[in-house]
Chains A and B, each alone.
Chain A
């Protein structure tokens, strides 16, 4: 990066020629584990990258959201031993960068922050989160199941990032969103950019905004759902839904988990582990003696939809769905709750 000038006092706006991206990512990899979108078959997944070339920044969406590196599908809470007692299994975490996240996924991380770090902060999530920087990437395309625009979470990213990239053709506009982002930008010696580049950015985003065809009308949504708890649509969905839990597994804001103890072979030691759980599964609300508080499938379907669209608000003062569309594309039966809402609205 011979041409790069240092951005001493940061103008919070910089330009990054695309030809410099590789070098930048490689410098980041020296200090951080860089997790970004990489191709897997015909789809994409977030994965730690081995080289800058692994990144597929033109990705639409990923199978699982980046949540999986902060709230892991399986996580050991501690190990226990007959004589030594409880040992915390936590390893020192390497600093990581989540690279190329879209607006919906960044918003979802902010929702998880509320669920995991407010009351009784979760140390496993908290430490990983503290060690994580987010480099966002504004979307330049709209997937067939995307409806972030309706939820007010995208396509333009407004918060939650340390650095934000917007594709302007042969260069990226880089915006700084935090003091860590500012330090990062300074260390990377980016070109300062004139503020008029923001106009260029908005122009690009406007093109994206025009491309949405899926929408979920959110005005009066709480009232609509509260008035329609007994609507026949739930029973119809019950007959389609397989209650497989795929929709919650791929959701960037779902936080539920189950806890299991695993004994080692000698039966003298073992570990306590948590694993993602889903309110769509029969066992989720089951207690001793076989009693189940959500035995019926329609009750479970409603739990998911109402939790996402209504209950997050009183619980965490935020919406619960960021409109990433993953639950729609993951559903074998193609159940799409934007359609359910349209039915309730009589559309």
Chain B
């Protein structure tokens, strides 16, 4: 019987500091056969193990067409993620995956795509952006709205100019520290909704970020005329298995690890718990 709980060893082949508290790690599975068989959809996640410390669900932040390696962009916030910060190139961790639903890539073809990310929420959306970038002619208007606390908190800063060659990119920060230069918007991410070029017609909106941010994004999109079916969100929940066994990630009858983490907002509206300001019951 195959054991879905047993991670494979993966080596850190590169480390890139994104911000003071966030790092992108490039991994390759130690066994070439495992690496060769590993594939994923944008929006899926892996369970990353540090032996002796534990396991955490982390989205894959690289492009699925890169087959030799894959990346995770991780914010150091607690036990496991802080311990990762101490690892170096060549060190090994345990990884198993990929799990969960991805973003609805099939649905995006021929459509306008609106991507709204906050903070670390850009990580699971980057594979969508790079995929669209490479197959730009398959999509209509594409716009990325990204917000972070301060300019120093922004991820993938060297990518924006490249992305902007083929798609719209709008940035905002909550605060600009005194003395720093900032040429973009100031304010929460929903502020960008007021200045964006996107319109509801023929558009699919994908959003990921802190729950409170997504709540306001969804509220504003709905008031602008988006239908719940046009909005997709990626949710975070406590996860101890990733494979529908530990029960931790349940929201109503849904297992976030398996039925999510990406959900159509319309699907969340069927749940009794008040998700993202949904109606609940």
Q: Is the CB of A86 within 8 A of B246?
A: no
Question: Which residues of the partner chain A approach B67 to less than 8 Å between Cβ atoms?
Answer: none
Question: Which residues of the partner chain B approach A261 to less than 8 Å between Cβ atoms?
Answer: 51-54
Q: Is the CB of B240 within 8 A of A263?
A: no
A24 at interface by CB-CB < 8 Å: no
CB A235 to nearest CB in B, in angstroms, measures 15
* Bound Cα distance from A315 to B245, whole angstroms: 12
* Bound Cα distance from A53 to B77, whole angstroms: 57
Q: Is the CB of B246 within 8 A of A256?
A: yes
CB B1 to nearest CB in A, in angstroms, measures 4
Question: Which residues of the partner chain B approach A122 to less than 8 Å between Cβ atoms?
Answer: 4-5, 245
Segment among A39-47, A134-142, A167-175, A279-287 that sits at the interface with chain B: A279-287
Question: Which residues of the partner chain B approach A289 to less than 8 Å between Cβ atoms?
Answer: 77-78
Q: Is the CB of A88 within 8 A of B6?
A: yes
Q: Is the CB of B78 within 8 A of A85?
A: no
Among B94, B238, B240, the residue within 8 A (CB) of A257 is B240
* Bound Cα distance from A270 to B52, whole angstroms: 6
Give chain A interface residues in 292-347, CB to chain B under 8 Å: 293, 299, 302-303, 306-307, 310-311, 313-315
| Chain A residue nearest in CB terms to B272 | A229
Question: A80-B51, A80-B52, A255-B245 known; A288 and B6 CB under 8 Å?
Answer: no
Q: Is the CB of A226 within 8 A of B281?
A: yes
| Chain B residue nearest in CB terms to A293 | B237
Give chain B interface residues in 218-267, CB to chain A under 8 Å: 236-238, 240-241, 243-248, 250-253, 255, 258
| Chain B residue nearest in CB terms to A226 | B281
CB A127 to nearest CB in B, in angstroms, measures 7
* Bound Cα distance from A311 to B237, whole angstroms: 18
Among B7, B258, B281, the residue within 8 A (CB) of A119 is B258
* Bound Cα distance from A306 to B254, whole angstroms: 12
B55 at interface by CB-CB < 8 Å: yes
CB B196 to nearest CB in A, in angstroms, measures 28
B3 at interface by CB-CB < 8 Å: yes
Among B77, B241, B253, the residue within 8 A (CB) of A315 is B253
A227 at interface by CB-CB < 8 Å: yes
B273 at interface by CB-CB < 8 Å: yes
Q: Is the CB of B253 within 8 A of A311?
A: yes
Question: Which residues of the partner chain B approach A226 to less than 8 Å between Cβ atoms?
Answer: 272, 281
Among B7, B53, B238, the residue within 8 A (CB) of A285 is B238
Q: Is the CB of B237 within 8 A of A288?
A: no
A144 at interface by CB-CB < 8 Å: no
B2 at interface by CB-CB < 8 Å: yes
A26 at interface by CB-CB < 8 Å: no
Q: Is the CB of A259 within 8 A of B77?
A: no
Question: Which residues of the partner chain B approach A116 to less than 8 Å between Cβ atoms?
Answer: 245
CB A144 to nearest CB in B, in angstroms, measures 29
Among B53, B77, B81, B247, the residue within 8 A (CB) of A255 is B247
B1-36 near A? 1/0 per residue, CB < 8 Å: 111111101000000000000000000000000000
Among A88, A270, A285, A310, the residue within 8 A (CB) of B237 is A285
Question: A88-B3, A284-B238 known; A311 and B77 CB under 8 Å?
Answer: no
Question: Which residues of the partner chain B approach A307 to less than 8 Å between Cβ atoms?
Answer: 250
Q: What are the 6 A-B residue pairs with the smallest beta carbon separation, nearest first?
A: A256-B247, A120-B243, A311-B253, A314-B253, A123-B1, A229-B281
Residues of A that sit less than 8 Å from B by CB: 77-78, 80, 85-86, 88, 115-116, 119-123, 126-127, 226-227, 229-230, 255-261, 263, 267, 270, 272, 274, 277, 279, 284-289, 291, 293, 299, 302-303, 306-307, 310-311, 313-315
> Would you list 6 pairs from A and B whose C-beta atoms are within 8 A, ordered by A residue?
A77-B6, A80-B51, A88-B6, A122-B245, A259-B55, A277-B248
Residues of B that sit less than 8 Å from A by CB: 1-7, 9, 49, 51-55, 77-78, 81, 94, 211, 236-238, 240-241, 243-248, 250-253, 255, 258, 272-273, 280-281
